[in-house]
Amino acid sequence: MSFITLRMGWRNLGRNMKRTLLAIGAIALGQLTLIVVNSLMEGFFQDILETVTGPLVGHIQIQDPLWHDERAADLYIDHLAETRKAIEGLKETVRVSPRIVTFALVASGEKSESPAEAEAGMIAGLDIDAETKRGGLLEGVPPEEWPAKGEVIIGTVLANRLNLKEKQLIAVISTDVDGFPVSELFTVKTIVDSNVELIKTLGVVMPIEEAGELLMMPDQVHELAVYGYDFMKADSLKEAITHIPALKDASIKTWREAIPEIVMVINVKKWFDILFLSIVFIAAAAGIANTAMMSTFERKHEFGLLLAMGARPARLVNMVIFESVILGLIGIAVGTFIGVAISTILSYTGFNYGFLGGSGADTSITYKEISFSLVIYPRLKLQHVVYGLVAVTLTSILASLWPALIAARLEPVEAMHRT
Amino acid sequence: MKYAGVFFVVLFGIGLVSASFVFSEDSEPVLETPNFVKDGVLDLEGAIKYFENLYRSNSSVGEMEMTVVRPRRTQTMRMKAWTEGEDKSLIIVQAPPRDAGTATLKVDKNLWNYMPRIKRTVRIPPSMMLASWMGSDFTNDDLVRESSILDDYEYECVGPSESPEGWLLRCDAKPGVVGLWNRIDLIVSKDGTLPIEARYFDRKDRLSRTLYWSDVKVLGGRQLPAVMRLVPEGEPGNETTMHYLSISFGETLPADIFSLSRLEQSQ
């Protein structure tokens, strides 16, 4: 393509500035919508995935097959020490979090004139060291706040309900693994505001050894949450764990299997991406085709003159296509600039979509005992820009082919005569 | 006549018991031979009224052993219980030493538990009423719930029962009655006086648990089944047996026995 052809194409864009600007605006709007919405969706779904595979579910869940439906204390995984060692020995494993979980009655253990009102609570016997690491149930709790023997961590909601403060006593009444009553007094070491709803509202967290002693489960747990290097590779981790003989009768589930509803929602995102890309594609195609078509018909006389002067039809085709591609690229550049700017700002400020649904000041919702944030922090990926760029460039070429071919097939005399 | 759930049926043996007696004003039994079967037909209303009246007692003091069987472990508790009317009761565990002093106080619909190990009394919230009582197959709700077959159920005699032998009475909860059991199938003895078996069906009409009575003997001047066994459905290896050692009716009880302070002195 010669320089003159390019120059002519470029200058033609300025002939009808309003139309050109409208076309650029439409393409830019499509691109910025694509970038902002896709980065918001990416942030939203990444947050869901990290929440799901984080504290509560882990990458792999190992439980008694009946635990999910019955949650009875005697549905446990036996031989904890041996099993844990075997899982930790796998090359795919990063961390194993054993958990004892059973419901209890809890009340203030402080002496008072009238009996304390008991509330429903949940004993969570945890490996405190493992759970305070990134993605654990107690992520971020510093070592000086870890419970020692005779101490517990409780959630903020439970603490408020029982009117308990740190260093005060809490009475825990439950039944052991065989269903016989047990009771104990503990000192509240720390009160935590966990993003795991169960911990926040019901949790009475104690070291797993202490829970095992209280509930007569010295080498048993109700659940093992296993973490690998990448939650997207949970299937290979599961495959490796399945071969451990001690777990032959256990239920071993990846996070996808443990919460299939979430996976279904995530799958919807893929279709959402395609839908948005299609909208941008159609909007760009319509805008560019319209501009190119109008421009071609307006310049029939000029095209006829060029052909009469010896210009080859291919040159006209190149010129029309070039105009369209330039139009599309300018639109993409403008849209990308604005879209990236909006996404970047939102990635710092966050976007609370709870307001859209009328949730007021709430910043999280709880589903299946997991607290999901209502504040989205967009995650911009290069592919969000590239998708639009490729789609609009292809669209520009395809949409301008028809008017370009019309221009190329003009009879010079007839074109000049009719004009 | 209201009665306080299946638990007091079990605990005090004054429900669904042998009907060889009628009672005088002070609840002392007077031997008489009731007859609820005439010409091969059960006098249903008479039998149920008689059965409901068996709960009447101004006061009682009883000692019993409760054996809780679980797949891996069996535990027996010895306990003593005091009741006054239908609304007040106190149960104190006497053995084994680990649980001795554990006590439950019921006044109206309120329930308190005292745990000697931590020396604390807590009030059981309504949300925990379906939780197990003392690790048995009975629930807290069994202690506080009041229902009456005469008032809350529509009842009919289905006919003779072959296994076990007796009469099968079907009691369906009346529409609008709030309760745990949608239906109770009660089997009484051939003379219509002794309870033998009761099957409890939940709100979805699924069999939830079965109560068996056996070992009829005279306790506190009344002829009562001394052993009652509760078997939850769908939990193989689990059951709770209540064995009455002694029971006396019409006792004069200390005025403060059903108080929180007395509860905490249970040891």
Question: Is the minimum CB–CB distance between B68 and chain A shorter than 8 Å?
Answer: yes
* Low-confidence winner among A64-73, B23-32, B99-108 (lowest mean pLDDT): B23-32
pLDDT at B201: 93
Of A115, A116, A178, the CB nearest to B73: A178
How far apart are the C-alpha atoms of B51 and A71, rounded to whole Å?
38
CB < 8 Å to B134, chain A: 181
- Give the Cα-Cα-Cα angle A102, A198, B121 (nearest 5 degrees): 55
Of B69, B231, B52, nearest in space to B148 by CA: B52
pTM for the predicted model, two decimal places: 0.70
* Per-residue pLDDT band at B56 (split at 50, 70, 90): low
- Summarised one tens digit per residue, pLDDT across range A36-49 is 888 888 888 888 77
Of A74, A116, A119, the CB nearest to B120: A116
* Per-residue pLDDT band at A55 (split at 50, 70, 90): confident
SS3 B54: coil
* Per-residue pLDDT band at B10 (split at 50, 70, 90): very low
Q: Is-contact A161 A248, C-beta < 8 A?
A: no
How far apart are the C-alpha atoms of A365 and A195, rounded to whole Å?
10
- Summarised one tens digit per residue, pLDDT across range B111-145 is 898 988 888 888 888 777 778 888 889 887 777 66
Tokens read off for B40: 């091969």
Chain-chain contact of B121 with A115 (C-beta, under 8 angstroms): yes
pLDDT at A180: 83
* One-letter identity of residue A354: G
Which chain A residue shows the shortest CA-CA distance from B121? A115
Tokens read off for B198: 């009761």
pLDDT at A205: 95
Percent of chain B with pLDDT over 70: 83
For strand A169-175 and strand A116-117, is the pairing parallel, antiparallel, or unpaired?
Answer: unpaired
CB < 8 Å to A171, chain B: 115, 118, 120, 122
Distance from CA of B122 to the nearest CA of A (A): 5
pLDDT of B246 > 80? The answer is: yes
| Strand locations in B20-152 (E) | 21-23, 29-31, 37-38, 41-42, 59-69, 74-84, 88-95, 103-107, 110-115, 120-123
Q: Which of B93, B120, B239 to mutate to test the interface with A (most CBs of A within 10 A)?
A: B120
CB < 8 Å to A74, chain B: 70-72
pLDDT at B20: 31
Chain-chain contact of B135 with A115 (C-beta, under 8 angstroms): no
Percent of chain A with pLDDT over 90: 30
**Mean pLDDT within A307-330:** 82
Chain-chain contact of B71 with A74 (C-beta, under 8 angstroms): yes
Tokens read off for B189: 């003895």
More confident residue, B78 or B52: B78
pLDDT at A342: 92
**Mean pLDDT within B8-26:** 37
How far apart are the C-alpha atoms of B9 and A336, rounded to whole Å?
77
Chain-chain contact of A171 with B112 (C-beta, under 8 angstroms): no
SS3 B12: helix
pLDDT of A365 > 50? The answer is: yes
Chain centroid to CA A186: how far?
38
Give CA torsion, residues A157, A162, A168, A173, to 10 deg. Answer: -100
Tokens read off for A308: 């009469």
CB < 8 Å to B128, chain A: 105, 118, 120
- Summarised one tens digit per residue, pLDDT across range B27-48 is 444 445 577 888 778 888 888 8
Taken in order A225, A231, A232, A234, the sign of the CA dihedral is negative
Most trustworthy range by pLDDT among A260-274, A368-382, B100-114, B125-139: B100-114
**Mean pLDDT within A243-267:** 85
Of A105, A109, A183, the CB nearest to B128: A105
How far apart are the C-alpha atoms of A159 and A403, rounded to whole Å?
72
pLDDT of A226 > 90? The answer is: yes
* Per-residue pLDDT band at B22 (split at 50, 70, 90): very low
Chain-chain contact of A185 with B71 (C-beta, under 8 angstroms): no
Q: Which residue has the tokens 């554990």?
A: B102
In chain B, the N- to C-terminal Cα span, in Å, equals 34
Task: Provide CB contacts within 8 A for A191, sequence distance 6+.
Answer: A153, A154, A155, A156, A159, A164, A165, A166
Q: Which residue has the tokens 């006396």?
A: B248
CB < 8 Å to B113, chain A: 118, 173
Distance from CA of A276 to the nearest CA of B (A): 47
Of B75, B112, B128, the CB nearest to A120: B128
Cα dist. A304→A163, A206, A310, A311, A313 in Å?
89, 87, 10, 9, 10
Which chain A residue shows the shortest CA-CA distance from B71? A178
pLDDT of A34 > 90? The answer is: no
- Summarised one tens digit per residue, pLDDT across range B159-203 is 888 888 888 999 998 887 777 788 999 998 888 777 889 999 988
pLDDT at A187: 94
How far apart are the C-alpha atoms of B240 and B138, rounded to whole Å?
8
Of B1, B2, B9, B4, nearest in space to B230 by CA: B9
* Per-residue pLDDT band at A137 (split at 50, 70, 90): confident
* Low-confidence winner among A255-264, B33-42, B69-78, B103-112 (lowest mean pLDDT): B33-42
How far apart are the C-alpha atoms of A407 and A415, rounded to whole Å?
10
SS3 B104: strand
The chain-wide mean pLDDT, for chain A, equals 84
* Per-residue pLDDT band at A100 (split at 50, 70, 90): very high
SS3 B42: strand
* Per-residue pLDDT band at A359 (split at 50, 70, 90): low
pLDDT of A331 > 80? The answer is: yes
* One-letter identity of residue B2: K
| Strand locations in A281-399 (E) | 351-352, 364-367, 370-373, 375-376
Question: Is the minimum CB–CB distance between A191 and chain B shorter than 8 Å?
Answer: no
Give CA torsion, residues B25, B249, B242, B223, to 10 deg. Answer: -60
Chain-chain contact of A178 with B121 (C-beta, under 8 angstroms): no
